[in-house]
């Protein structure tokens, strides 16, 4: 979903706030953009794949036969564009589809299926495979290659200064996300509060990363745990969202206080790691003497903030591990069902409105380790998940968006409903395989669950 803007005049704080406000859309224009990342590996050896030779670059080049246009940086293909969708690279070569803003989950699932078919066609020719997990199951950090993108070099140097697991976030995690619209500031606030409080419930339902370097890690979502020690300035559950008076101004003030990573000038990334955007607005950055930011710089800066729900000109749901094909469609189904029907949104808020602010961060950590067995306000996460899915189911049913076969969108929740009913997360099923048929060999996941 596009969120860039350009403006050459000096920015005021009001401009920054207005940039968020411009995302508001009437309900009949609400769409959902789905994103998912996946690990790329060599068939047979299960080794990670470098940019080249016969690696990520060849994969990107091969996809151009399907009408994707290459995006270059310093002469390297680092992304592809087709219409409003794009394919991009994460720091360690994780392959991401950022889908177009689409009206229904049927459309999203068709787009996802087309993408996976296209990449598999090219990957088969190169001897590559794809795996949807939240954290790479066997690779060490040193095993993972580095992609030639300027912003990642800056992040790579900065991460160890602010957290212990930021490099793991960059190189060894994959997620599935959904981006949703809001009608107004008041609507954004309601959606932000409900989705942020309930994000750990999604983390538990999608928990799918129990291994680190071939062994059980003690976490059901090693990916979610990584985010608890990445960078406290730009991650977490954002207590201020739940306080009186929250709105666009509050979030803009928060974003303004998050240290910068970079400014992009043409093909070049200027290293501004740790610098203040406020100082940038005052023309006080030594790296860009006298220069002041544009709205494009502000838009770029908002992409360097990583809370569990992120506001740009839409809301990003960021709490889920990547997974198999079916669960890629389930995440937008969950959040569309909850957030795009007013009765469902009110019911979802009723589930969590009495949770104490100090419990939000604790729950975030607990679900990474315990999944659906974690507890909040005297209830198990499993029980909350059942209620949440019933609300989402009703929200999707009320939407009445039918496929060509006259089927509504509720079927996309079926796998999540099974997970909630049994209380067994995908990660626990992987551990059962590891302790049973796989005989302690976590690499079997590449053969069993590859796309």
pLDDT band at residue 26, thresholds of 50, 70 and 90?
Answer: very high
Q: Domain of 91: which CATH number?
A: 3.30.590.20
Q: What is the pLDDT of residues 250-284, one digit of tens each?
A: 999 999 999 999 999 988 999 999 999 999 999 99
Q: Give the DSSP letter of residue 406.
A: S
Residue 349 vs residues 89, 159, 193, 384, 391: alpha-carbon distances, Å: 35, 35, 8, 12, 11
Q: Give the DSSP letter of residue 135.
A: B
Let me know if residue 2 belongs to a domain: no
Question: Which pLDDT score, from 0 to 100, does residue 267 have?
Answer: 85
Let me know if residue 58 belongs to a domain: yes
Q: What's the mean pLDDT when you consider all of the chain?
A: 96
pLDDT band at residue 446, thresholds of 50, 70 and 90?
Answer: very high
Let me know if residue 104 belongs to a domain: yes
Question: Which pLDDT score, from 0 to 100, does residue 5 have?
Answer: 43
Let me know if residue 397 belongs to a domain: yes
Q: What is the pLDDT of residues 233-244, one digit of tens each?
A: 999 999 999 999
Is the distance from CB of 202 to CB of 317 less than 8 angstroms? yes
Question: Of the candidates 324, 301, 86, 315, which has an alpha carbon nearest to the alpha carbon of residue 178?
Answer: 315
Question: Of the candidates 188, 222, 181, which has an alpha carbon nearest to the alpha carbon of residue 203?
Answer: 222
Question: Of the candidates 178, 176, 198, 246, which has an alpha carbon nearest to the alpha carbon of residue 344?
Answer: 198
Is residue 2's pLDDT more than 60?
Answer: no
The pTM for the full model equals: 0.96
Let me know if residue 7 belongs to a domain: no
Q: Tell me what percent of the residues of the chain surpass a pLDDT of 90.
A: 96
Question: Which pLDDT score, from 0 to 100, does residue 33 have?
Answer: 98
Average pLDDT over residues 426-438: 98
Let me know if residue 438 belongs to a domain: yes
Is residue 22's pLDDT more than 60?
Answer: yes
Number of domains composing the chain: 1
Let me know if residue 213 belongs to a domain: yes
Question: Of the candidates 176, 233, 200, 166, which has an alpha carbon nearest to the alpha carbon of residue 368?
Answer: 200
Domain carrying residue 180? 13-449
- From the centroid of its chain, how far is CA 90? 11
- Angle at alpha carbon of residue 198, lines to 197 and 203, rounded to 5°: 120
pLDDT band at residue 8, thresholds of 50, 70 and 90?
Answer: low
The runs of H, that is alpha helices, within 38-134 are: 56-63, 105-126
Let me know if residue 6 belongs to a domain: no
Question: Of the candidates 16, 36, 8, which has an alpha carbon nearest to the alpha carbon of residue 299?
Answer: 16
Backbone angles phi, psi at 229, to 5 degrees: -140, 50
């Amino acid at each position: 979903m596009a969120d860039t803007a350009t403006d050459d005049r000096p920015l005021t704080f009001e401009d920054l706030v207005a940039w968020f406000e411009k995302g508001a859309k009437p309900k009949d224009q609400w769409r959902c953009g789905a994103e998912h990342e996946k690990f790329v590996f060599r068939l047979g050896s299960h080794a990670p794949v470098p940019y080249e030779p016969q690696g990520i670059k060849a994969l990107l080049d091969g996809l151009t036969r399907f009408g994707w246009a290459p995006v270059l940086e310093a002469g390297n293909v680092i992304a592809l564009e087709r219409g409003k969708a794009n394919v991009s690279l994460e720091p360690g070569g994780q392959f991401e589809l950022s889908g177009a803003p689409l009206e229904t989950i049927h459309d999203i699932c068709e787009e996802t299926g087309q993408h996976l078919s296209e990449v598999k066609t090219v990957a088969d020719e190169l001897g590559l495979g794809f795996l949807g997990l939240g954290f790479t199951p066997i690779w060490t950090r040193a095993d993972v290659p580095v992609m030639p993108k300027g912003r990642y070099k800056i992040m790579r140097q900065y991460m160890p200064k602010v957290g212990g697991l930021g490099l793991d976030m960059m190189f060894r995690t994959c997620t599935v996300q959904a981006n949703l619209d809001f009608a107004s500031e008041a609507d954004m606030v309601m959606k932000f509060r409900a989705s942020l409080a309930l994000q750990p419930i999604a983390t538990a339902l999608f928990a799918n990363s129990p291994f680190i370097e071939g062994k059980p890690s003690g976490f059901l979502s090693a990916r979610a745990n990584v985010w608890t020690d990445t960078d406290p300035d730009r991650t977490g559950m954002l207590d201020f969202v739940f306080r009186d008076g929250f709105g666009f101004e509050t979030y803009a003030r928060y974003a303004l206080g998050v240290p910068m990573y970079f400014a992009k000038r043409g093909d070049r990334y200027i290293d501004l790691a740790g610098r203040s955007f406020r100082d940038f607005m005052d023309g006080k950055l030594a790296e860009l003497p006298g220069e002041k930011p544009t709205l494009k710089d502000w838009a770029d800066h908002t992409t360097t903030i990583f809370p569990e729900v992120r506001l740009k000109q839409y809301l990003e749901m960021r709490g889920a591990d990547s997974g198999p094909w079916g669960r890629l469609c389930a995440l937008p189904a969950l959040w569309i069902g909850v957030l795009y029907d007013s009765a469902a949104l009110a019911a979802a808020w009723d589930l969590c409105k009495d949770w104490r602010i100090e419990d939000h961060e604790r729950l975030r950590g607990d679900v990474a380790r315990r999944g659906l067995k974690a507890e909040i306000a005297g209830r198990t996460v499993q029980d909350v998940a059942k209620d949440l899915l019933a609300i989402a189911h009703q929200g999707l049913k009320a939407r009445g968006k039918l496929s060509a076969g006259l089927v509504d969108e509720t079927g996309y929740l079926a796998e999540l409903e099974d997970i909630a009913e049994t209380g067994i997360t995908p990660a626990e099923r992987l551990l059962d395989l590891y302790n049973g048929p796989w005989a302690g060999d976590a690499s079997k996941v590449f053969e069993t669950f590859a796309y």
